[in-house]
Each structure stands twice: as C-alpha cells, then as structure tokens.
Amino acid sequence: MQVGDEVLDKLVRETTVEIRNAAGLHMRPAMLFVDIASRFESDITVSSGPTNADGKSIMQMSMLAATCGTRLDIRAEGPDAEQALEALRELVEVRMFDEPPP
Amino acid sequence: MEIKKGIAVSPGVSIGKSLIIDSEDYRIPRREIDPSQRAAEIERARNAFVGAVEELVKLERGPGEAAGGRIKDIFAVHLRYLRDRSLRRKITDMVHAESVTAEYAVSTVLREIASKFTNVKDAYISERAADIYDIERRLLRQLLGHKREDIGRLQEEVVVVARELSPTQTATFNKAFIKGMATDAGGRTSHTAIVARSLGIPAVVALEDLTEIVRGGDTVIIDGNRGIVIVNPDEETIRQYEVYSREFVALEHKLDTIRAKPAVTRDHVRIKLLGNIEFPDEARVVLEKGGEGVGLYRTEFLYLNRPTEPIEQEQYEAYAEVLRVFADRPVIIRTFDLGADKYTQSRRVAPEPNPFLGLRSIRFCLQNLAMFKTQLRAILRASVLGQAKVMFPLITNIQELMQAKMILHDVMEDLDEEGIQYNRDLEVGIMVETPSAALTASTLARDADFFSIGTNDLTQYTLAVDRGNELVSTLYSAADPAVLRLIRMVIQDAYKAQIEVSVCGETASEPEYVMLLLGLGIRTLSITPPMIPEIKQVIRSVTIEDCNQLARKVLAMNSERQISGYLRSAARKILPEAF
C-alpha cells in the first residue's frame, strides 16, 4: 500500500477475472455483479477489451455481453477497493454466479 | 403547410385538430418538441420510470412467488434496469440534446441497447433483447397509457392520425368525436378503411410517414375523396376546403332523398340492398340509409377490447338488439371470424408464423368448441325475435361445413332438452371467400341455404396478396380475371342449386363494381351503410340488359388493368358526381 493513497483515503486496485459459467454474463449474473459492486463505496470500472462499463450500472454491465471465457479487467478506486475486488472475484470465479460451468 | 398523397378509402372531407395514436408494436415516430418543452418532457420521462418501478414492485410482491425463482429474477433484473441512473441519463440527455418526445427517446435508447444484444453471437445473450423490449413496452405504457384511455373519453372533435389502427383500438373510440382518420399503413380493405366507412367519416390510408410530420393538436384536413391529407393548411386552403366540403354534403343530401325509393333497375328488376355492420348501434344507420336488412353482422366486437370471453347473455343481447330493429327483415349473423389479424395472435404464447393461413375463423371455432357453442346458443335463443340467419366464415371444404352444422344441431338438442324456444327453420349459410370453396361451390350448395361471397378474402387468397402490405397492395384487385371467374362460378352454382347468393365484400360497396356484379347475376348486395344511397342511385340508373352486356365484355378481357379501367369509365357515365 502506498502512503500517498492512504492519506487521500483513496486506493486504486486492479485485477483480471475470467467468466467461467456456461451462459456468460447475461442478465441475472450482471444483476448479482451490480448488487455486490453497489455495496462498496469505491468506484468500480469493468473493461472488456476497449469497452468500459460502470460496475454499478446493470445496463452498462450487461452491454459488455461477456460470454464464457471472456476476461474482464476490474478496477476499483476508493477506500474499500481491496475488499470490493475480492468480493467480485469470488462471485465471478469461485461462485460462478451460482451457475453451472460449461 | 404540407400536402401528403395517400389512398382514399372513405369519402368526405374533415378539418380538425389531430390526435395521434401510437401503437405498442410499431416504432415510435420521431416527433420534435419546442425547446421550451424539454423540461416538461424530461419530467414525463422521470415519472414514467417512477410509475414503471411501482408497477414492478407490485408485481414482484404479487402471486408470482408461486411461479418460482425465475420470474422473480426477471422482475428483479427489470427493476434494476429501471433504477439504473446511467439509463435514465441517456434518455433525458437525448430529450435535451435533440428536442424530441420522451417516448421517442425511451424507444430509441432501449432499442439501441436491444440491438447490441441481438448482434451478439451467443444465443443466450442475444435472447436478452426480449427483456429490453419488455422494459421499453413497460415505459411506453406509462407514457402513452393515459392518452390511450382518453380515446374513449374524448370531449372534443378530432381527426385521428396513426401508424395503423388495430381493431382493439377502434373498438375503444368514442365515435361521436372522431371526424376523420389518416394512417401511414393500410390499403382499401384495411381495418381503418372498414371502420371509417361504417362510421361514415372520411379516411385516407397509405400515407407512409404522416405520423412523423404531424404533431398532436396540428390542424389537419382529411380529404377522403381525393386521398389527400394537408397538415397545417394556410387560410386560403381552409376556405377552399370549407366550400368543397359543403358541396360534398349537398351531394350526400341529394342521395339521401332517394332513401325511401326502392332499389330497382330501370327495367324493373328488384335488387335487395342490405347493410354490413360491426356494432349493434349501426343497425339504425342501415335503416336510416334505406337498407332492407343486415347481410353481414360481424360479431368479433364482442371479443375485442376485453380480457375475458363474452358470456352468453351478453351475446344474446347484442344479437337481440339488432333483430328487434329489423323485425321481419333478414339479419345474417356471422359466427366469430377471429384469428389472423384479429384478437387471437396477441393472446398466443408463440404467434403463428403465417396467421392468414393458420388457425383462424371457422377453424378457430371448431377447435374451441365451448366458445363456439356459446355463440350458437345465443344466436338460437335470439332467433325467435326476428329473421335471424347464421353464416359460417372461411369454409374451405365440405367437412368443415358438416361439422359446424352438427355442432349447431347439438346446441339445438340442448335447447330442446331445456325447453328453450328457437327458430327451428333457421337458415344456415356460408361465406365463400376461399378459392377452394369457390371451386367446390356445387358441392357446398347442397348443404348450405345461402352463399355470401366475401370478395376481400377471396381476392387475397386467389391472388396471394396480403391486402395490408403496402409493398404489394397494388396487386390486390377484385377486378382480376382470376377472381372474377371464381365469382361467376359461385353464382352459377348457386343458381343451379336454387339457393340465394349475395356479395358482402368491399367490392359490393364500390359503384364501379355494381353493374358488373348485377351482370354476373347478383340480386342481393350487402354493403357498408353510408354507401347505401349511392349504390341505390347506381342501381336505379342502369338496366340489367346493360349490366349483362358489360359483364360479357369484362369476362372476355384478359388483364386487370383493362377491366378496372373499363369499369371505372362505365360507372363515371352513370354517376359523374361521385368520381
């Protein structure tokens, strides 16, 4: 952790996750993602290739149209960035949105 | 001032303020607003979101719980969409930047999103477009719902402008306040045309992009004689049209004076003129215009604009009302002609891919026996009140006719057991409106008491042309030699079997066809009530000998163009004012 970030009360963290459930990031997974992202104070941006989406907007998240196997870059910016990334990674890669793999 | 040319489908001239009716199924036309109205429009969009959220919250708490998690998930997703700030911002930004209506912005933004999904190759994701359309409809209902309800509660006279009008929409009209209709789509036999003619108000259809030009409240002239619509006319044009409109009314009055005179040709052949009606209150219009009965009582109105099936008593009253008006004169009640464009499709889980060739009309009734029997019961019970006859639509073969008659007999037996009175000699006829019925008319005539030729469907099925499709509607013509040969065949077979044959399609209401139909042997015409005086005038101006000669000439012609040109010039000689 950098000292400067601590002082500004603002952390920036990034990670990459892979969509592993068969049906991809359709409506219901997008909803779960947004619900978890919205619990955190940090701003969350999700990128698929050149497209960026606000991790708290279901419209923008679902429009990423990420299919199984797609890699998403998640960037969190704010005091709870670390916890946010951890929770989202768990949802996408471990719980796989509570959906079956291919 | 802007002048648009379309197809004239119902005569007369109206000048009035426009009322625009949007339809759920069509793209909302782009309508620009004054920049000063933007704030109010953005407020409308916000309220639509609030209303839609409330509606969904209610649904989510409702009995859906039993339906399990999936439905709940769907509602939950829709709710999050409706609460999504970036979606709302996209819509309000569009209203602001382009000065367009809230409904246009809602529709455009959501359809853009939907098309994104549709373009994804993954089937699971591309199917999500349906969710977006659902959200779009929910918001549009919020924005347009009130307006739609208002149609029934109109307090001032308007002219209606729409992309296309559905039977459900016209059923809700408060008819006293509608002075004219104009639609982007449609043809001579579209629903709009039929309703306008039966109400006796001018209408023009096939105006292509009229809804994009007119805004609600604009002054609009509908010229149903020339097929012209003028948006925001200048004062000079309004003055000219007021004069023209008075002259037209004068002609109408002149025709009204022949109301009490009989429909007889100059060589003393008596023609029976009946009216086609869609609602019970039109029965009186038929009498006022000099009609001698009802040749086609369409009963579908009982089904439109309501969520539940009409009960027997309700149907009985609707039939009784008309029978009482006509007492000893005939009233032909056609059994439900539902399906295709009417009623059934919107209720199906999966719409039929080809509804005009699908489960419609008598086929639909034969597969929904409870509904069919209820209607026959109501007709039989009412039959003691007057001269009721029953008519089955869209018969294509003898089995269908036998089956329908058997069901009628079952219902009669039920009534006998219950000791309920009905007319035992009720006449049973059929609509001849498919090529197969026309070709087998000699067989069908053995089991039918009368034929009524439905030229609209007969033309559509013979020529394989969808009459509502502007792209091919020019091919649709009852003057086509193929259609005329079938009509002649049906008339000849009816004569041989000595049963009555009439024509109840749109062609019977068109002056240029009357001579031809008489020449082919028709002595009974059933037409839209406002046209009765004009058609009577035509009948009283001709001799059967002239008509026979004309029919012989026409039957020797090989092209539709030649025939329709010839019919028009013949009619112009008889009734120059009408052309």
pLDDT tens-digit map of B477-501: 999 999 999 999 999 999 999 999 9
CATH architecture of the domain formed by B260-578 = Alpha-Beta Barrel (3.20)
Give B40 to chain A, closest Cα distance, Å: 25
Q: Would you call B184 helix, strand, or coil by DSSP?
A: coil
CATH class of B35-146: mainly alpha
The pLDDT tens digits for B136-145 are 888 988 887 6
Question: Smallest Cβ distance to B87: which of A30, A34, A59?
Answer: A59
CATH class of A3-92: alpha beta
Question: Looking at the annotation, which residues of B are catalytic?
Answer: 191, 504
Q: Judge residue B115's burial from the number of C-beta atoms within 10 Å of its C-beta, 0-12 exposed, 13-18 middle, 19 or more buried.
A: exposed
What CA–CA distances, in Å, run from B543 to B266, B540, B546, B574? Answer: 5, 8, 5, 11
**Rounded to a whole number, what is the distance in Å from the CA of A53 to chain B's nearest CA?**
10
The Cα–Cα gap between B329 and B294 comes to 8
pTM of the shown model: 0.60
Count the residues in chain A.
Answer: 102
Give the per-residue pLDDT at B59: 74
Which chain A residues contact residue B122 at CB under 8 A?
24, 65, 67
Question: Residue B462 has what pLDDT?
Answer: 97
Task: Give the pLDDT of residue B64.
Answer: 46
Task: Answer whether A67 sits within 8 Å of B120, measured CB to CB.
Answer: yes
Which of A5, A15, A23, A26 does the annotation list as catalytic? A26
Question: How many contacts, defined by CB atoms under 8 Å, are there between A and B?
Answer: 52
Backbone angles phi, psi at B397, to 5 degrees: -155, 170
- Residue B70 has a pLDDT of 59
Contact B120 A65 (CB under 8 A): yes
Q: In what order do the strands lie in the sheet with B7-10?
A: B2-5, B228-231, B219-223, B13-21, B158-162, B178-183, B203-205, B7-10
Q: Residues of chain B whose pLDDT is less than 70?
A: 22-29, 62-71, 145-155, 166-169, 171-172, 188-189, 304-307, 340-350, 575-579
Q: Closest chain A residue to B124 measured between Cα atoms?
A: A23
The 10 Å Cβ neighbour count of residue B289 is 23
Burial class (CB in 10 A: 0-12, 13-18, 19+), B552: exposed
| 3-class state of residue A21 by DSSP | coil
Q: Which fold has domain B2-26+153-251?
A: Glucose Oxidase; domain 1 (3.50.30)
CA distance A83 to chain B (A): 23
Of B73, B81, B116, the CB nearest to A58: B81
For A34, A86, B501, B535, the CA distances from B508, given in Å and listed in that order, are: 64, 77, 13, 9
CA distance B8 to B154: 25
The pLDDT, as a whole number, for residue A18 is 95
- State the pLDDT at residue B247: 81
Q: Could you report the per-residue pLDDT of A2-55, keeping only the tens digit for each?
A: 444 454 567 899 999 999 998 888 888 999 999 999 999 999 999 998 999 999
Q: How far is B70 from chain A (nearest CA, A)?
A: 10
In this prediction, residue A3 carries a pLDDT of: 45
Cβ-based contacts of B91 with chain A (< 8 Å): none
Residues of B in contact with A67 (CB under 8 A): 120, 122, 125
The residues spanned by each domain of chain B are 2-26+153-251, 35-146, 260-578
- Please indicate if any CB of chain A lies within 8 Å of the CB of B75: no
A27 and B77: CB-CB below 8 Å? yes
